[in-house]
Structures are given as C-alpha cells and as structure tokens.
Amino acid sequence: MNPSSESRRELDSTVVNIELTLASIIQGVALFFLTDNARASMSVRDWENFLYVAAGLCVIFIFWSRSIIHTLTLIKWPLEFGHNFFYIACALGEAILFSRLDSPLAWFQLSAAYAAVVWLLFIYDMRLIRARITESNNITDRALYAHAKADQLLNIWALVPLLFFLNLGCALSIWRWPDLFIARAGHICLISIQLASFIGYLIYIGDYFKAIAPLLLRNRERAGEQ
C-alpha cells in the first residue's frame, strides 16, 4: 500500500471522527435547551405547547440526520472550518429557538431566521460537493456524488426555501392578525402545518439515505481495497 495513501486515509478518518463528534455534541446541547424549556412550558392547560416541543425535536432529528449523512458522504481531509462554524452557529440558533416555545410569534420569526442560516449552509457546502466530484475517479464515486449534488440543489432551490417562506408567512400572519392567531389560538393550525412539514422532510431524508446507502457501502469497500 502506498504510504501517502495510508496517511490520507488516516487523516480522512480523523476528520470524519471530528465531524461526527461535533455533530453529536452540538445536538446534545440543543436537546438540553429543548428539554429545559419544555419542562417549564408544558402543562395540561397549555397542551398546544406539546406541538412546539415536537417541532423542536424534529429540528434536532433533521439537523443530526443531515449532518451524519453529509459526514459519511462528503467529509474528507482537509478539515473544513467554515462548514463546522456553520454547524456551531446552527446549534446556537436552535438553543435560542427552543427558548421561545411559549411565544408563537417569536417561534416562527426565529424559525425563519434559522431556516435562512441553514439555507446558507447548504449553499456553502456546494463547494465540498464540487471538490468531491472533481477528485472522483470511478463510477461508484461519481454516482454517489451525483446523488449528493442533486439532493443539495433540491434543498437549495426548493425544500429549504419552502421551509423559510412557510415560517416567514406564519410569522407575518401572527403579526398581522394577532386576534385570530393568538387570542383565538389560530397559531395551533400554523404549528401543526410546520410540524407536518418537518415530518415530511424527515421521511425524505430517510428515502434519500436508502438510495445512497449501497453506493456509500461500495465507496467504503473500494477505499479499503486501495
């Protein structure tokens, strides 16, 4: 085995471990803030807060699953600092978001801001995909990165913008008609729509991973043979 190839594999493995550790830690921190604020806000009398807690849990599920798939698919040496800084910023956004479980207007305003940061993260990470496509030298790698590029573009041009404008529209609706959405509890319909969209996105993530799993396995097998 080529010594330089072995060194590169060791560095790739180190970077992947760093990414996986970072993703797990920051989502653990986000879960702490969600749990702490949920304990203070949930009660039988304010049952609708359960919907906000469920939506917050979906936010954690989505970010963690996307980051794990991203790491297994694209992350290699050298360490990408900007990408990791975005992860930390998203964790901060989640912590702030989870502090407003009992304020529908603030929840949707912060959800829109969080979606905007995630949108920028998807755009920023296109450079990683381009780098992997450039260095790919076999059919399996090219197929895997083609799937990753298609998924990334779908998120950039459709899925994340839809989530952003959904949250922005909900925030504007509550701000414009507070009597309907606050006094008459119309915000329950809005959080239900948001929760349904998050669940739908989680289903999409599961289907995407099933599609790339065989390619990812062949990619790892080929790397192990080199």
pLDDT in tens, 123-162: 999 999 999 999 888 898 999 999 999 999 999 999 999 9
Task: Tell me how far apart the alpha carbons of residues 129 and 31 are, in angstroms, rounded to a whole number.
Answer: 29
pLDDT for 2: 58
| DSSP designation for 138 | S
Query: Residue 226: pLDDT above 70?
Result: no
Residue at token pair 């949108």: 119
Rg (CA), the chain: 20
For the entire predicted model, the pTM comes to 0.94
pLDDT in tens, 160-205: 999 999 999 999 999 999 999 999 989 999 999 999 999 999 999 9
pLDDT for 54: 96
Task: Tell me how far apart the alpha carbons of residues 119 and 156 are, in angstroms, rounded to a whole number.
Answer: 6
Residue range(s) defining the domain that contains residue 131: 3-225
154: helix, strand or coil: helix
Count how many domains the chain has.
1
Task: Tell me how far apart the alpha carbons of residues 66 and 122 are, in angstroms, rounded to a whole number.
Answer: 11
Phi-psi region of 29 (alpha: psi -120 to 50; beta: other; left: phi over 0): alpha
Residue 139 makes CB contacts below 8 A (sequence gap 6+) with none
Task: Tell me how far apart the alpha carbons of residues 48 and 191 are, in angstroms, rounded to a whole number.
Answer: 9
